[in-house]
């Protein structure tokens, strides 16, 4: 295969074979091309079928990028036990989830409710003319818009889902001549992105076609310009609630000597995240540690979830906490409401072997059940973070978990690891304290 090259600029790259691609990259960018090639190949799967599968997920795959898949057991959700799969690189997250799960498993567990499951998509278009005529036109073609999607919606309807409603929205107060077809959908167990986008593109087509036979439109009015048709990742009507609660005295534990003091400080920490955006972002980031990890493990689109969740956190005009807490009549309650558009069928769910594994470990949940499990992972993570922050401080646990990474960086031997772990059971872990200690050991051993 030939390619044309000019100072690292290349045309026809995607048409090269994988071998040609990695050879070009190794030669162009690496002082030691042989080493670069061998690193890439080390991460290829020896099972050709699995490797081919990964090669085809995206364009220009040159190797695989591993992230750990960990599990957090002992989650009691609505009376049922789960072991939750988590894909994440941050060392303390799985341990924190497991700790929070265990804590709440003896205090009634997590309770969840799916409040609604509506997805949204929009056709954005420009219309120059009489808005009242456009409304009349829309009412006339609405049924046609729906009928024209029949081949797309047939299967979804069999599963009980489909198009819920289409509205014409006048946005000309924001942009001159700008209107939308704002549509809502029920996509059942699929996330629904392809389904929604296909329906929207068909709505746009019907809109463009039908405009010509609407007699009261002038020639200018017939000239509708469809700007784009796309689903929205903002799903404020696809909300799940997760909560925990227990009598104050049941909060007692290793780092919680005075449960009332603990609960009050915890509630204050949540209040701070409710009113202070700088804190809210970090607070919600902790929630997303739990949410993203399971969203990725179950083959869902974490960028869509992130974008939607943060938009929801700003819905009242200021970025705020997704979780809330209170003490009422001696009962501590902590809860979270998040928008989660998830799927358990379609997309990667039946393609990626580890996604299939994760879903089976969760007993093949429906999308609604998955929403509940994911929200719980977020709440558990938030509980673990706030418990540490308001008691021991976050660094103790973080650095204990991070110790492994430091030991790997320093290429510590098994013997050194044993001695260092023992030493740091009672001493504060920092990068420099570990370096100092290993240097001391290396002088002695
Ligand atoms: C770190 O990944 C997450 C935390 O910063 C969350 C928080 O501050 O609530 C610990």
Last residue of a domain, one of 200, 232, 264: 232
Q: Is the pLDDT of residue 160 over 90?
A: yes
Answer for the pair 40, 62: CB distance below 8 angstroms, yes or no.
Answer: yes
Report yes or no: 415 and 108 within 8 Å, Cβ to Cβ: no
User: 262 and 197 share a domain?
Assistant: no
Rounded average pLDDT over 177-188:
98
Decide if pLDDT at 172 tops 80: yes
pLDDT at 165 over 60: yes
Q: 283 CA distance to ligand 1 centroid (A)? A: 6
> Residue 173 C-alpha to ligand 1 middle, in angstroms?
41
- pLDDT for 399 equals 77
Q: Model confidence at 401, in pLDDT bands (50, 70, 90)?
A: confident
Average pLDDT over residues 77-102: 97
- 90 classed as catalytic: yes
Q: Give mean pLDDT, residues 387-412.
A: 86
- Closest residue by CA, ligand 1 atom 6: 286
Q: Which of 201, 232, 263 is the last residue of a domain?
A: 232
Task: Give yes or no for residue 47 CB within 6 A of ligand 1.
Answer: no
In a domain, 62, yes or no: no
Same domain, 102 and 248: yes
The residue from 189, 243, 292, 301 that is catalytic is 301
Q: What is the pLDDT of residues 123-153, one digit of tens each?
A: 999 999 999 999 999 999 999 999 999 999 9
- Does residue 257 sit in the same domain as residue 108? yes
Together in a domain, 282 and 299: yes
Q: Report CA(94)–ligand 1 centroid distance (Å).
A: 13
Distance from residue 359's CA to the centre of ligand 1 (Å): 27
Q: Are residues 280 and 292 in the same domain?
A: yes
CA-CA-CA-CA torsion for 404, 410, 413, 415, nearest 10 degrees? Answer: -70
Question: Which residue is listed with tokens 């799960």?
Answer: 101
pLDDT-derived band at 297, boundaries 50, 70, 90: very high
How far apart, in whole angstroms, are the C-alpha atoms of residue 12 and residue 26?
17
Of 232, 265, 293, which one is at a domain's C-terminal end? 232
What average pLDDT score do residues 74-78 get?
Answer: 98
Instruction: Give, as one character, the DSSP assignment of residue 110.
Output: B
Ligand 1 pocket, residue 270 CB under 6 Å: no
Is 89 found in the same domain as 221?
Answer: no
Q: Nearest C-alpha to atom 3 of ligand 1 is from which residue?
A: 286
Lowest mean pLDDT among 192-196, 298-302, 345-349: 345-349
pLDDT, residue 427, reads 87
Q: For residue 21, give its domain range.
A: 4-55
Q: Is residue 60 part of a domain?
A: no
How far is ligand 1, taken at its centre, from the CA of residue 318, in Å?
A: 20
pLDDT for 7 beyond 80: no
Is the beta carbon of 282 within 6 A of some atom in ligand 1?
yes
Pairwise CA distance, residues 199 & 205, whole Å: 10
What's the whole-number mean pLDDT along residues 405-417? Answer: 92
Catalytic residue among 142, 205, 324, 398: 398
Question: Catalytic one among 111, 222, 285, 431?
Answer: 285
Element (H, E) at 123: strand 119-126
State how far the Cα of 27 lies from the Cα of 389, in Å rounded to an integer.
Answer: 48
Of 381-385, 401-405, 423-427, give the range with the top mean pLDDT.
Answer: 381-385
Give me the pLDDT at residue 2, please. Answer: 54
> Each residue of 197-222: pLDDT tens digit?
999 999 999 999 999 999 999 999 99
* Structural domain includes residue 40: yes
**How many distinct structural domains can be found in the chain?**
4
**301 labelled catalytic:** yes
In which residue are the tokens 């009412």 written?
139
The reported pLDDT for the residue numbered 369 is 98
pLDDT at 4 over 80: no
> Is position 285 annotated as part of the catalytic site?
yes
**More confidently predicted of 426 and 419:** 419
Supply the mean pLDDT for the chain.
Answer: 95
**Using one digit for the tens of pLDDT, what is the confidence trace for 349-366?**
989 999 999 999 999 999
Residue 414 among the catalytic residues: no
Q: Residues 89-109: what's their mean pLDDT?
A: 96
DSSP output for 128-165: -S-HHHHHHHHHHHHHHHHHTTHHHHHHHHHTT-EEEE
80 and 33 both lie in a single domain = no
Instruction: Find the CATH number of the domain harbouring 201.
Output: 3.30.70.420
Position 241 scores a pLDDT of 98
For residue 5, pLDDT over 60 is answered with no
The answer to whether residues 108 and 250 belong to one domain is yes
CB of 140 within 6 A of ligand 1: the answer is no
Query: Which H helix or E strand runs over 274?
Result: helix 259-275
Model pTM?
0.91
**3-class secondary structure, 445:** coil
| 247, 165: one domain | no
What count of Cα atoms within 13 Å lies in the side-chain half-sphere of residue 129?
Answer: 20
Q: Is residue 64 part of a domain?
A: no
97 found inside a domain? yes
**376 and 327 in a common domain:** yes
Distance (Å, rounded) from C-alpha 166 to C-alpha 169?
A: 10
The pLDDT value recorded for residue 6 is: 61
* Strand positions, DSSP E, 296-426: 323-328, 331-339
- In this structure, the answer to whether residues 146 and 277 fall within a common structural domain is no
2-11, 65-74, 98-107, range with the lowest pLDDT:
2-11
Calpha distance 24→33 (Å, rounded): 9
Q: What number is the average pLDDT over the span 46-60?
A: 96
pLDDT value at 292 more than 90: yes
Question: Are 249 and 349 in the same domain?
Answer: yes
The gap between the terminal CA atoms of the chain, to the nearest Å, is: 56
pLDDT at 426: 84
Q: Residue 347 has what pLDDT? A: 87
* CA nearest ligand 1 atom 9, residue: 283
pLDDT tens digits along 370-380:
999 999 999 99
């Amino acid at each position: 295969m030939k390619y044309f090259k000019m100072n690292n600029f290349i045309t026809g790259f995607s048409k090269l074979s994988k071998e040609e691609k990695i050879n070009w990259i190794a030669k162009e960018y690496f002082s030691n091309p042989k080493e670069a090639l061998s690193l890439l190949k080390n991460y290829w799967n020896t099972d050709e079928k699995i490797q081919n599968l990964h090669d085809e997920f995206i364009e220009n795959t040159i190797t695989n990028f591993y992230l750990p898949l960990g599990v957090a057991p002992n989650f009691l959700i609505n009376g049922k036990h789960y072991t939750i799969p988590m894909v994440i690189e941050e060392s303390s997250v799985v341990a924190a989830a497991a700790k929070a799960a265990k804590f709440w498993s003896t205090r009634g567990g997590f309770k969840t409710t799916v409040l609604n499951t509506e997805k949204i998509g929009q056709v954005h278009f420009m219309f120059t003319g009489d808005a009242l005529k456009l409304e009349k036109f829309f009412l006339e073609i609405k049924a046609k818009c729906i009928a024209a999607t029949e081949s797309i919606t047939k299967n979804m309807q069999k599963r009980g889902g489909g198009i819920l409603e289409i509205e014409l929205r006048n946005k000309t107060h924001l942009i001159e001549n700008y209107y939308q077809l704002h549509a809502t959908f029920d996509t059942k167990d699929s996330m629904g992105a392809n389904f929604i986008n296909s329906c929207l593109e068909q709505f746009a087509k019907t809109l463009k076609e039908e405009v010509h036979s609407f007699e009261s439109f002038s020639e200018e009015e017939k000239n509708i310009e469809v700007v784009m048709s796309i689903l929205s990742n903002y799903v404020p009507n696809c909300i799940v609630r997760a909560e925990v609660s227990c009598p104050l005295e049941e909060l007692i534990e290793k780092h919680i000597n005075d449960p009332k003091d603990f609960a009050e400080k915890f509630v204050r920490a949540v209040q701070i995240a409710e009113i202070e955006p700088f804190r809210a972002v970090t607070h919600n980031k902790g929630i997303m540690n739990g949410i993203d990890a399971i969203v990725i493990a179950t083959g869902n689109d974490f960028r869509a979830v992130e974008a939607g969740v943060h938009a929801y956190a700003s819905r009242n005009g200021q970025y705020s906490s997704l979780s809330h807490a209170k003490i009422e009549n001696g009962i501590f309650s902590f809860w979270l409401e998040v928008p989660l558009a998830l799927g358990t069928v379609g997309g990667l769910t039946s393609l990626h072997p580890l996604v299939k594994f994760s879903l089976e470990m969760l007993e093949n949940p429906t999308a609604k059940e998955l929403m509940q499990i994911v929200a719980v992972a977020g709440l558990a993570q938030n509980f673990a973070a706030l418990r540490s922050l308001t008691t021991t401080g976050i660094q103790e646990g973080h650095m204990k978990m991070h110790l492994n990474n430091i030991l790997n960086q320093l290429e510590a031997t098994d013997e050194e690891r044993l001695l260092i772990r023992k030493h740091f059971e009672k001493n504060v872990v920092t990068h420099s304290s570990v370096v100092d200690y290993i240097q001391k050991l290396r002088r002695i051993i």
